[in-house]
């Protein structure tokens, strides 16, 4: 039997990192077995869907390496409405479903709201279909539904505790639970790998599979992703959008490596591993079922390592969107005509070891491409204390008469200028750095000055001196 998995996102917002992880796990599961991966867009909630979210899903999957054209789909749930209705009719005809005209208030009045489920009032009333009557599935009174879950063993649900749940609303439209099952059946899905949040649906869905005469799939419910307070990641509170990480300059390779570590680890005490190792070693059976902490700090550190490991030319190319601007991310603060690729390439190796996300390249090199540095006023106040004016005067004079404009010579010169005032190099550097770059921290100063050039360096020192 060919393994067929699916990833079934609803296009109702940005692409959640938890969804990205499920997609990767499905992808790897299929790949390891020579199976098929189906992308199904669950677009039946017309009020919340937007086509751009669907496009966002496709683009985000591309970015993660699940590329359009290499999988089946996208298939759209809305295209299968006839199948959903047919299944509802079939269940009705078999006596596995019945119409119900109870309102929520009716149920509460009868049960005193002691239990939240439906009390089965209409089970044997034999109501005919009519506008406003929901169709409910008749769950078995006895026995248990045992779900085979590759991560959780065999979660078992007493059938008596599963309410007669709605499968089609009062207007005849099938609900998500049913549509999702019918699509999986129609698409020949053998393994459903999805978020833990859906586990409570699973016994109901498995009963539907069986009632419709199919062998249920094997399930795997991957652990919920939580923040540092152990709260489920929420798009209102937490940074959950994959697009946002991408646009800040997380590398796809770092991101997918990190996502796979949510609940799983490769062999041998390693975390950062080539994707081929993940593809080889990942096992659903090894996934820890407890909640997985999405640690943005750790992801950042990961990304820094991935950035440092890039061949220098790839690093330069990876920075380009942030330096030259694209539609996705904010344009750089300089005039595009002032961007000089050769200057950037000269400082790129210095930046590569110092940034953790690619967007940080902009503040690291903006002093090279802006006519004036962006001055951090707090840094200015701290650096331009007593003695700064004299030091700048001396630096201007000494730098101005340097025979050779090189990092080496600049360093030796400023060392001397500082020593004459009883200042260590670090102290002597501070006013020069703020004057030239506007900041108190940044790339190594003398290399930066070398690339900036004599003329511009001196002009900035002079203008800072005037301000002090
Ligand atoms: N559309 C559902 C979701 O985005 C997927 C449910 C499933 O994977 O079965 O949560």
- Strands, E, within 13-71: which ranges? 36-41
**Ligand 1 pocket: which of 5, 10, 12, 208 to mutate (most atoms <8 Å of CB)?**
10
Positions annotated as catalytic residues are 235
**Which has the closest alpha carbon to 351: 283, 304, 293, 284?**
304
In a domain, 140, yes or no: yes
Q: Is 6 in the pocket of ligand 1 (CB under 6 A)?
A: no
**What distance in angstroms lies between residue 115's CA and the mean position of ligand 1's atoms?**
26
Structure tokens at 398: 């000494």
Q: Is 8 in the pocket of ligand 1 (CB under 6 A)?
A: yes
Structure tokens at 345: 């390439």
pLDDT of res. 329: 85
Percent of the chain with pLDDT over 90: 92
* Domain C-terminal end among 133, 168, 203: 168
In a domain, 253, yes or no: no
**Ligand 1 pocket: which of 4, 5, 42 to mutate (most atoms <8 Å of CB)?**
42
The domain of 149 spans: 85-168
Looking at the CA of residue 19, tell me the nearest atom of ligand 1: 4
In a domain, 407, yes or no: yes
Alpha-carbon distances of 252 from 263, 358, 371, rounded to whole Å: 19, 12, 34
* Domain C-terminal end among 168, 188, 212: 168
pLDDT of res. 51: 85
pLDDT in tens, 368-396: 999 999 999 999 999 999 899 999 999 99
Q: Is 194 in the pocket of ligand 1 (CB under 6 A)?
A: yes
pLDDT of res. 58: 97
pLDDT in tens, 280-306: 999 999 999 999 999 999 999 999 999
Look-up of token digits 């992808």: 27
Quick one: how far is CA 295 from the chain centroid? 12
314-320 CB contacts, 8 Å cutoff, 24+ apart: 315/348, 315/352, 316/344, 316/345, 316/348, 318/251, 318/358, 319/344, 319/348, 319/351, 319/358, 319/361
**What distance in angstroms lies between residue 254's CA and the mean position of ligand 1's atoms?**
25
Average pLDDT over residues 237-245: 94
Average pLDDT over residues 243-270: 96
Residue 113 reports pLDDT greater than 80: no
CATH number at residue 156: 3.90.800.10
**Which has the closest alpha carbon to 220: 168, 275, 151?**
151
pTM: 0.93
Average pLDDT over residues 100-104: 94
Contact status, residue 151 vs residue 220, Cβ threshold 8 Å: yes
Question: Distance between CA 176 and CA 163 in Å, rounded?
Answer: 16
Mean pLDDT computed over every residue of the chain: 96
Q: Exposed e or buried b for every residue in 45-61, given b needs 16+ CB within 10 A? A: eeeebeeebbebbbbbb
Question: Distance between CA 412 and CA 407 in Å, rounded?
Answer: 9
CATH number at residue 415: 1.10.10.350
In a domain, 226, yes or no: no
Q: Is 10 in the pocket of ligand 1 (CB under 6 A)?
A: yes
Residue 328 reports pLDDT greater than 80: no
Closest residue to atom 10 of ligand 1, CA basis: 9
Closest residue to atom 2 of ligand 1, CA basis: 9
- HSE on the CB side for 385, CA within 13 Å? 8
**What distance in angstroms lies between residue 330's CA and the mean position of ligand 1's atoms?**
32
Question: Distance between CA 61 and CA 63 in Å, rounded?
Answer: 5
pLDDT in tens, 62-78: 999 999 999 999 999 99
Look-up of token digits 């085979």: 148
Structure tokens at 307: 């950035």
Closest residue to atom 5 of ligand 1, CA basis: 8
pLDDT of res. 386: 87
**What distance in angstroms lies between residue 410's CA and the mean position of ligand 1's atoms?**
61
Average pLDDT over residues 123-134: 96
Confidence of residue 115 (pLDDT cuts 50, 70, 90): low
**Strand partners of residue 158:** 144
Residue 26 reports pLDDT greater than 90: yes
Number of other CB atoms surrounding residue 281 within 10 Å: 18
Structure tokens at 163: 């309410």
pLDDT in tens, 201-234: 999 999 999 999 999 999 999 999 999 999 999 8
**What distance in angstroms lies between residue 204's CA and the mean position of ligand 1's atoms?**
15
Could you tell me the strand order of the sheet in which 166-168 lies?
97-100, 134-137, 166-168
pLDDT of res. 114: 66
**What distance in angstroms lies between residue 9's CA and the mean position of ligand 1's atoms?**
5
Average pLDDT over residues 4-32: 96
Alpha-carbon distances of 423 from 171, 388, 429, 445, rounded to whole Å: 82, 11, 10, 17
pLDDT of res. 45: 83
**What distance in angstroms lies between residue 167's CA and the mean position of ligand 1's atoms?**
16
Q: Is 42 in the pocket of ligand 1 (CB under 6 A)?
A: yes
In a domain, 132, yes or no: yes
pLDDT of res. 235: 86
Confidence of residue 47 (pLDDT cuts 50, 70, 90): confident
* Domain C-terminal end among 168, 200, 233: 168
**Strand partners of residue 192:** 219
Q: What are phi and psi of 403, to 5 degrees?
A: -70, -35
In a domain, 25, yes or no: no
In a domain, 32, yes or no: no
Q: Is 189 in the pocket of ligand 1 (CB under 6 A)?
A: no
Question: Distance between CA 297 and CA 295 in Å, rounded?
Answer: 5
Residue 326 reports pLDDT greater than 90: no
Total structural domains within the chain: 2
Q: Is 180 in the pocket of ligand 1 (CB under 6 A)?
A: yes
- HSE on the CB side for 411, CA within 13 Å? 9
Residue 171 reports pLDDT greater than 80: yes
**Which has the closest alpha carbon to 365: 343, 335, 380?**
343
In a domain, 125, yes or no: yes
**Ligand 1 pocket: which of 19, 179, 185, 194 to mutate (most atoms <8 Å of CB)?**
194
């Amino acid at each position: 039997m060919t393994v067929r998995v699916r990833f079934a996102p609803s296009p109702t917002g940005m692409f959640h990192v938890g969804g990205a992880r499920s997609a990767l796990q499905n992808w790897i599961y299929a790949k390891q077995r020579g199976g098929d991966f189906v992308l199904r867009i669950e677009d039946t909630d017309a009020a919340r869907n937007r086509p751009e979210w669907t496009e966002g899903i496709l683009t985000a999957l591309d970015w993660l390496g699940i590329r359009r054209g290499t999988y089946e789909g996208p298939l759209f749930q809305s295209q299968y409405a006839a199948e959903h209705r047919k299944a509802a009719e079939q269940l009705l005809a078999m006596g596995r479903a019945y119409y119900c005209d109870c309102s929520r208030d009716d149920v509460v009045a009868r049960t005193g709201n002691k239990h939240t489920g439906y009390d089965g009032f209409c089970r044997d009333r034999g109501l005919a279909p009519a506008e406003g009557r929901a169709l409910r599935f008749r769950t078995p009174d006895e026995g248990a539904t045992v779900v085979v879950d590759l991560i959780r063993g065999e979660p078992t649900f007493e059938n008596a505790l599963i309410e007669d749940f709605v499968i089609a609303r009062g207007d005849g439209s099938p609900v998500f639970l049913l549509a999702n099952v019918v699509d999986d059946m129609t698409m020949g899905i053998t393994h459903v790998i999805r978020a833990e949040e859906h586990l409570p649906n699973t016994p109901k869905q498995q009963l539907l599979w069986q009632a419709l005469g199919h062998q249920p799939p094997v399930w795997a419910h991957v652990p919920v992703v939580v923040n540092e307070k152990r709260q489920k990641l929420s798009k209102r509170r937490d940074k959950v959008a994959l697009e946002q990480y991408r646009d800040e300059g997380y590398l796809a390779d770092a991101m997918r490596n990190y996502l796979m570590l949510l609940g799983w680890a490769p062999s041998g005490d390693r975390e950062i591993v080539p994707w081929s190792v993940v593809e080889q070693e990942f096992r659903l059976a090894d996934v820890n079922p407890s909640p997985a902490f999405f640690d943005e700090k750790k992801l950042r550190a990961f990304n820094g390592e991935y950035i440092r490991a890039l061949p220098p030319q790839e690093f330069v190319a990876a920075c380009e969107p942030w330096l030259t601007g694209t539609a996705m991310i904010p344009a750089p603060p300089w005039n595009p005509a002032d961007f000089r690729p050769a200057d950037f390439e000269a400082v790129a190796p210095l930046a590569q070891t110092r940034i953790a996300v690619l967007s940080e390249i902009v503040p690291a090199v903006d002093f090279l491409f802006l006519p004036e540095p962006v001055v951090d006023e707090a840094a200015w106040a701290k650096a331009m204390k007593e003695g700064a004016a004299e030091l700048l005067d001396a630096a201007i004079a000494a730098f101005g008469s340097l025979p050779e404009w090189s990092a080496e010579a600049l360093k030796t010169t400023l060392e001397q200028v500082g020593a004459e005032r009883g200042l260590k190099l670090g102290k002597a550097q501070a006013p020069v750095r703020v004057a030239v770059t506007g900041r108190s921290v940044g790339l190594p100063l003398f290399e930066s000055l070398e690339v900036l050039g004599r003329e511009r360096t001196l002009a900035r020192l002079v203008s800072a001196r005037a301000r002090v």
